[in-house]
Amino acid sequence: MPAEREIRADFDRETIVVYQAYPPAIADAALAAGRFVAPFSTGRMTWIKPSFLWLMHRSNWGLKAGQERTLAVRISRAGWEKALALAIPTSFHPSLFRSPADWEARFRAATVHLQWDTERSLRGAGLPRFSIQVGLSRHVIGEYVDDWVVRIEDDTPRVRKIRDLLKSGRGDEAKRHLPPEKVYPVSAELARRLLIGPG
- Tell me, yes or no, whether 2 lies in a domain: no
> Residue 100 has what pLDDT?
97
Between 150 and 1, the more confident residue is 150
- Tell me, yes or no, whether 199 lies in a domain: no
- Tell me, yes or no, whether 95 lies in a domain: yes
> Residue 153 has what pLDDT?
98
pLDDT at residue 1 tops 60: no
pLDDT at residue 196 tops 70: yes
Average pLDDT over residues 28-46: 97
- Tell me, yes or no, whether 33 lies in a domain: yes
Distance between CA atoms of residues 9 and 138, nearest Å: 24
> Residue 199 has what pLDDT?
58
Q: How many domains does the chain have?
A: 1
Is the previous residue joined to 179 through a cis bond, with omega within 30 degrees of 0?
A: no
> Residue 2 has what pLDDT?
60
pLDDT averaged over every residue in the chain: 96
Average pLDDT over residues 68-83: 98
Residue pair 116/88 in contact by the 8 Å Cβ criterion: no
Structure confidence by residue, pLDDT tens digits, 134-171: 999 999 999 999 999 999 999 999 999 999 999 999 99
- Tell me, yes or no, whether 1 lies in a domain: no
Distance between CA atoms of residues 188 and 40, nearest Å: 35
Q: How many CB atoms lie within 10 A of CB 67?
A: 17
pLDDT at residue 180 tops 80: yes
- Tell me, yes or no, whether 183 lies in a domain: yes
Fill in the DSSP letter of residue 124.
S
User: Quick one: pLDDT band at residue 197, thresholds 50, 70, 90?
Assistant: confident
Average pLDDT over residues 26-44: 97
- Tell me, yes or no, whether 193 lies in a domain: no
> Percent of the chain scored above 70 by pLDDT?
98
> Residue 142 has what pLDDT?
96
- Tell me, yes or no, whether 195 lies in a domain: no
Structure confidence by residue, pLDDT tens digits, 5-26: 999 999 999 999 999 999 999 9
pLDDT at residue 198 tops 90: no
Residue pair 112/134 in contact by the 8 Å Cβ criterion: yes
Task: Tell me the residue type at 87.
Answer: A
> What residue numbers bound the domain in which 128 lies?
8-187
Q: Which residues pair with 150 in a beta bridge?
A: none
pLDDT at residue 64 tops 90: yes
